Amino acid sequence: MWSSISLGILKLAGWRVIDRRPADLGSAIYLVVPHTSNWDFLVGLLARSGRKIKANYLAKKSLFDSPLGWLFRALGGFPVDRSKSTNITDQVVEYFNTVPGFSIAITPEGTRSKVDAWKTGFWRIAHKAKVPLVLTSFDYSRKEVVLSEPYHVGDDMETDIAALTEYFKPFVGKNPN
């Protein structure tokens, strides 16, 4: 029921979901690019519900310290304290190794602001846990949520990030600048 409602809301807003994932996809990292607006969260929740994706997400700790913190947790959020040098990547790898079917959404920009380089934790997690990436974009110019076929990282982070950056170039965020 929630799936149909979520897809209906997206459709009413003019959005469509293009889902190229295989039906038997297990654990994955949903790499979400570009992330330029708070609206990405709502579009992402609707697409996640509409496509029956069981995925958690990482978000800044201050969201969980707010009066709505309970809601962010209930929606699958994991708080990240960016002021501390805790090793979140190892914690997430441990989840992948111990929780069957675990998936998580990560925005490699780490912020809604324009950045020159992505944070690389997603690659380290995918490489250590041996899980694929699902390249996920919210293209506001076409009003499309695109979920790619699984992308398996290799042993060369720079090569992978260059390929991923190239893949995401055509997709336009809500606030592209």
**Does residue 176 form part of some domain?**
no
Per-residue pLDDT tens digits for 131-177 = 999 999 999 999 999 999 999 999 999 999 999 999 999 998 888 77
The domain total for the chain is 1
Q: Are 60 and 80 in contact (CB under 8 A)?
A: yes
Predicted local confidence at residue 112, as pLDDT:
60
**Does residue 173 form part of some domain?**
no
101: left (phi over 0), alpha (psi -120 to 50) or beta: left
Output the pTM of the full model. 0.86
**Does residue 40 form part of some domain?**
yes
| Residue 147: Cβ within 10 Å count | 20
Dihedral angle sign, alpha carbons of residues 82, 87, 88, 89: positive
Per-residue pLDDT tens digits for 105-133 = 998 876 666 767 788 989 999 999 999 99
**Does residue 140 form part of some domain?**
yes
Closest CA to 164 of 18, 29, 15, 19: 29
**Does residue 177 form part of some domain?**
no
**Does residue 95 form part of some domain?**
yes
Range of the domain at 56: 2-168
**Does residue 155 form part of some domain?**
yes
Residue 44, both tokens: 């992402």
**Does residue 66 form part of some domain?**
yes
